[in-house]
Amino acid sequence: MEKARILLVIGGGIAAYKTLELIRRGRARGLAFRCVLTRAGAEFVTPLALASLSGEKVYSDLFSLTDEVEMGHIRLSREADLILVAPATADLIAKMAGGHADDLASTLLLAADKPVLLAPAMNVRMWSHPATQRNLAQLKADGVRWIGPEAGDLACGEEGFGRMAEPEAILDALSAELGRMRGPLRGRRAVVTSGPTQEPWDPVRFLSNRSSGKQGHAIARALAAAGAQVTLVAGPVALPDPGGMEVVHVRSAREMLAAVERSLPADVLVCAAAVADWRPRSPREDKIKKQAERAPPVLALEENPDILKTIAQRREGRPRLVVGFAAETERVVERARAKLAQKGCDWLLANDVGPQSCVLGGDRNRVWWLSRDGAEEAWPELGKEEVARRLVARIADALGCAAGEA
Ligand code: C5P
């Protein structure tokens, strides 16, 4: 595929240093960057660093005769697929909202004919100031999108919303923007469950499993990159939230089911979460104490709702395509075929999670793809990202070519 071209406008904030990492990782993902540096931005990163990493000349002067001859400010945006402003400072946001054009960055943003994504970064009070929020409301109405900021420690020593989103999340959001422009799933809604669930026994103890969420999160990212509007319902995982989608955090199976139901309707549901089959029957309000003279407590369990089955067997509002996973340790395909029928889903991806497989928590996966109509395919061992891309290509095919009957 042709490389997507990103015009990166770098504003004057300490988070500008993160744009160097963003460019490096973005190029590894197949994006091409051309940078525009504001005067304030140049106080934080140098044109040389940006040019070295992007492999392109860096632009900063609106009135440069040589730049205008080589690459006028209008052409800068015309030659890009998408414009990313990172960090988007309060000042740049205000200029955009007001339609100012007094330097190269603001002028090209006003002249832009491409979607604009902002990655805001500023002090928490600047972010929550009515002026900034008013400007953002205006930009939202103008069709500008943004990712972040995140809460946390700020470089100024204060704490709160203001940290620029991390490079990986910004890159996810960029992929989703590009997907919305030209991806096969644009206009479609997708819901993905991912990670384990935790079933509380008392306030500090729970039942859970080893699922890392890597496969489910990769599927959510691949769906977003294909243009779908994605809701990721994530159990407790150590992974950062992907950008470019709504992420709903849950703990227990019942919370996960409720979140999935709230996220519907959707065209496709992918249940990649390793939902705990059982939960402690009577979770305690207080921590269970160890008492030397007493025998260990007995843990009574009850069954959790089956999210995949519940949604797949719905009469009303069933997504057109419902996809499940089956983690098995023996007779993988045979058991998966039986599970597919029992759950009532359309496709099932089966994988071997036996002790030698390294699937749980690992980066690679070997799956068998099974369909309700009897079709079956063994995929080679692939990275989880690649498994996700294959699955999404198939989803796009199924939703596209068999309208109304996928
Ligand atoms: O029954 P088993 O756990 O092997 O089924 C796996 C599939 O069912 C996965 O897609 C998983 O996300 C889904 N599942 C679910 N709710 C449960 C149990 C499993 O959605 N309570």
> What pLDDT is attached to residue 85?
98
What's the chain's length in residues? 406
Minimum-distance ligand 1 atom for the alpha carbon of 305: 21
pLDDT, tens only, 13-42:
999 999 999 999 999 999 999 999 999 999
Q: How far is the CA of 100 from the centre of ligand 1 (A)?
A: 53
Residue type, 243: G
Could you give the C-alpha distances from 244 to 124, 168, 171, 213, in angstroms and in order?
22, 11, 9, 17
Burial class, 227, CB count within 10 angstroms (exposed 0-12 / middle 13-18 / buried 19+): buried
Question: Per the structure block, which two tokens stand in for 183?
Answer: 């991806």
Q: What is the C-alpha to C-alpha distance for residues 146 and 149, in angstroms, rounded to an integer?
A: 9
> What pLDDT is attached to residue 77?
85
What pTM, to 2 d.p., does this model score? 0.91
Q: What is the C-alpha to C-alpha distance for residues 275 and 252, in angstroms, rounded to an integer?
A: 8
* Mean pLDDT of all residues in 76-86: 94
Share of the chain above pLDDT 90, in %: 82
Minimum-distance ligand 1 atom for the alpha carbon of 327: 4
Indicate if the pLDDT at residue 401 is higher than 50.
no
**Across the chain, what does the average pLDDT equal?**
92
> What pLDDT is attached to residue 166?
96
Mutational test site, ligand 1, from 307, 311, 360, max ligand atoms within 8 Å of CB: 307
> What pLDDT is attached to residue 70?
63
Q: How far is the CA of 324 from the centre of ligand 1 (A)?
A: 7
pLDDT, tens only, 276-325:
999 999 999 999 988 878 888 999 999 999 999 999 999 999 999 999 99
Active-site choice (35, 156, 271, 358): 156
What domains appear along the chain, each with residue ranges and CATH number? 5-172 (3.40.50.1950), 186-405 (3.40.50.10300)
> What pLDDT is attached to residue 365?
85
Indicate if the pLDDT at residue 406 is higher than 50.
no
Minimum-distance ligand 1 atom for the alpha carbon of 253: 21
88 ligand 1 Cβ < 6 A: no
Is 401 annotated in the active site?
A: no
> What pLDDT is attached to residue 66?
66
304 ligand 1 Cβ < 6 A: yes
312 ligand 1 Cβ < 6 A: no
